[in-house]
Amino acid sequence: MSGSKEGLKEATAAREGLRRIVDEALARGRDITERGEAIDEHQVHSERLAYIATETAAVEALLDYAAVGAAHDPLAVEEAIVFTAMVAARAQAQLGEHLERFGLSAPLVADALGRPEIERFVRAGLADERIEALGAQVLERGGTPDSYLEHDEERMTRETVRSFARAEVAPLAQRIHLEDDLVPEAIIAKMAELGFFGLAVPEEYGGQGMGNLAMILTTEELSAASLAAAGSLITRPEILTKALLAGGTEEQKRGWLPRISSGEIMVAISVTEPDVGSDVASVKIRAEKGELGGRPGYFITGAKAWCTFAGRANVIAMLTRTDPDPAKAAKGLSLFIVPKDPFPGHEFVMRQPEGGVLEGKADRTPGYRGMHSYTLQLDRYFVPGENLVGQEGRGFYLQMGGFAAGRLQTGGRATGLSQAALETAAAYSRERSQFGQPIGSYQLTRYKLGRMAVEIAAARQLTYRAARGFEESSSLEPAMAKLFACDVAVRTTQEAQLLHGGWGFAEEFPVCRYVVDALVLPIFEGVKPILELKVIARTLLR
Q: Which residues make up the interface to ligand FAD (CB under 6 A)? A: 43, 269-272, 277-278, 306-308, 365, 368, 373, 520, 523-524, 527, 529-530, 533
CB 262 within 8 A of CB 195: no
Q: Which is nearer to ligand FAD, 315 or 520 (CB)?
A: 520
Residue 339 Cβ vs ligand FAD, minimum distance, rounded to whole Å:
17
State whether residue 292 is helix, strand or coil.
Answer: strand
Query: What's the CA gap between 537 and 104, in Å, rounded?
Result: 18
Query: What's the CA gap between 11 and 5, in Å, rounded?
Result: 10
Strand partners, 269: 317
Q: Which is nearer to ligand FAD, 76 or 371 (CB)?
A: 371
Residue nearest ligand FAD, CB atom distance? 277
CB 377 within 8 A of CB 188: no
Is residue 525 flagged as an active site residue?
A: yes
Angle between helix axes 116-125 and 5-32 (nearest 10 degrees) is: 110
Closest CA to 376 of 404, 410, 338, 407: 338
Query: What's the CA gap between 505 and 341, in Å, rounded?
Result: 38
Residue 1 Cβ vs ligand FAD, minimum distance, rounded to whole Å:
40
354, containing H or E segment:
none
Residue 99 Cβ vs ligand FAD, minimum distance, rounded to whole Å:
25
Pairing of the two strands 315-321 and 267-270: parallel
Residue 152: partners with Cβ closer than 8 Å, 6 or more residues away: none
Q: Which is nearer to ligand FAD, 8 or 276 (CB)?
A: 276
Q: Which is nearer to ligand FAD, 14 or 269 (CB)?
A: 269
Residue 154: partners with Cβ closer than 8 Å, 6 or more residues away: 213, 214, 217
Catalytically annotated residue among 55, 79, 525, 532: 525
Residue 433 Cβ vs ligand FAD, minimum distance, rounded to whole Å:
38
Q: Which is nearer to ligand FAD, 33 or 208 (CB)?
A: 33
Residue 269 Cβ vs ligand FAD, minimum distance, rounded to whole Å:
5
Write the CA distances from 201 to 198, 237, 291, 461, integer angstroms. 5, 9, 33, 24
Q: Which is nearer to ligand FAD, 30 or 528 (CB)?
A: 528
CB 183 within 8 A of CB 197: no
Residue 294 Cβ vs ligand FAD, minimum distance, rounded to whole Å:
33
Q: Which residues are catalytic?
A: 525
